[in-house]
Amino acid sequence: AAAVSALPMMLAVHFPASVTGFSSLRLSSSTPVTHVARYAASPRSVTMQHDGKGFGGGEATRDPPPTVYDPSDPKGKQQAIHKAESFAEYLAKRGGFSDSHKSGVCEPRGAAAATAVSKVAPATAPASGSPYAELADAYFADIRRELALLMDNPSWDDGSLAPVLIRLAWHSSGTYDKASGTGGSNGAGMRFDAEASDCENAGLHTARAFLEPVKRKFPGISYSDLWVLAAYVGIEHTGGPSIAFRPGRVDWEGEHELLAGGWCSPMPRGGHGRLPGAEKYVAYDSADAAGRPSGWQKLCGHIRDEVFYRMGFGDREIVALLCGGHVYGRCHRGSSGYAGAWVEHPTRFSNEYATDMLEDEWRLVGHEDTWLDDMGAAELRPAAGNRQYVNKCPLGTGGDDANQMMLLSDMALAWDPDFRVHLEAFAADEAMLAREFGAAFKKLTELGCEGVLQPEVAAGGLAAAR
């Protein structure tokens, strides 16, 4: 508390009857803020826990409410595939696809290239000029082009698939453990229920389904490469940094490879523990003088030690990832139990997450705070048992602002002095955030893949793929 009291923040304290003892916070800064495994899944049914509390991008929101599904064909998956294919047909009719896609399948060019990517990637990167390198320049440019065409979808959340595809790549990659060398994006383990049934991955089967038509047209790319590349394209398509792509990830052939890496099947309630929890260790039995719930320091320790330090990130990279990742998408009661968007423009890269966290007034709410409904902010009321911060007040403060929320794990960036210094820096310099988020996200998606990754695809960027 002593360390926090020295921070340059102003506190506006309000005490709602529903959350006695917890204040809303105005965290004002003194800094001026101007290759080809078949899609497979275990045939047995599993119970999905719809209380995921993870980080990174928007959640899939069209997934159905039932909590039991068959992982080999979950309810809603076929609908998502149909919607994706219908959207692809629409694009084809308007002339959006290149000629190479009219056959329905875009094979790698040349027999040698086809052989190079239709088998497991070599353990070491091939020399420049190898068939795989020749494939990358043309084949991956075509994939980038098609992914870019799929990003804008008026039938999806806020008109964009980018947030949910960014979340897919983040959660696929964020399982990496530096000490054991397990986890990470290689393998595309979320195709199997041992990883897919983690409560933090609720709803992501629809994101994977949207990419199925692309996978069928480009069978030379692995699922694990496709998920990462889709996120890169989504970030750039929405005004974020261009991230150079390194292909070569290899899809696991069966769930046994996941189980060998430490996953359990069926998944225990609460997940496998490698993805973060937004309220972990937080208690609501008391609050400190600044209105922060007890246990928030332990939540900071969870973010550091149990999640990001475990993967090899430092504090500045952590803040860059969250500032860049949580500018995208929104949470939904049916998936994570939380509700609302972090920022006013959730399909556009910016440093709005950082600036709003520092400049706006934030109030802790729960499902019982029905006053949110009365002021047109029902979308910010979380599911029963969950708590989050919102930019609203029962006395009317924030009524004219866009409906926005922050998770407790977000607020920790402003509460913890070592995190806050980086938050203030990114709030003051959007270009710096773009550079450092791009570097940190690339690092995240390449963790655990060094033995299989190939050289970067030449001349990355959507402009080069057009």
The residues assigned a catalytic role are: 171, 342
* 8 A C-beta contact, residue 185 and residue 205: no
DSSP H helical ranges for 70-222:
77-93, 111-117, 131-135, 141-151, 162-173, 193-196, 204-210, 212-217
C-alpha 57/C-alpha 165 separation (Å) is: 8
Length of the chain: 466
Phi, psi of 293 (to 5 degrees): -65, 150
* 8 A C-beta contact, residue 297 and residue 223: no
Residue 194: CB partners within 8 Å, gap ≥ 6? Answer: 42, 255, 258, 259, 263, 264, 265, 267
Kind plus residue range of the DSSP H or E element containing 387: strand 387-390
Residue with tokens 């039991």: 68
Helix (H, G, I), strand (E, B) or coil at 364: strand
C-alpha 34/C-alpha 28 separation (Å) is: 13
- CB atoms near residue 422 (< 10 Å): 22
Q: Which residues pair with 389 in a beta bridge?
A: 364, 406
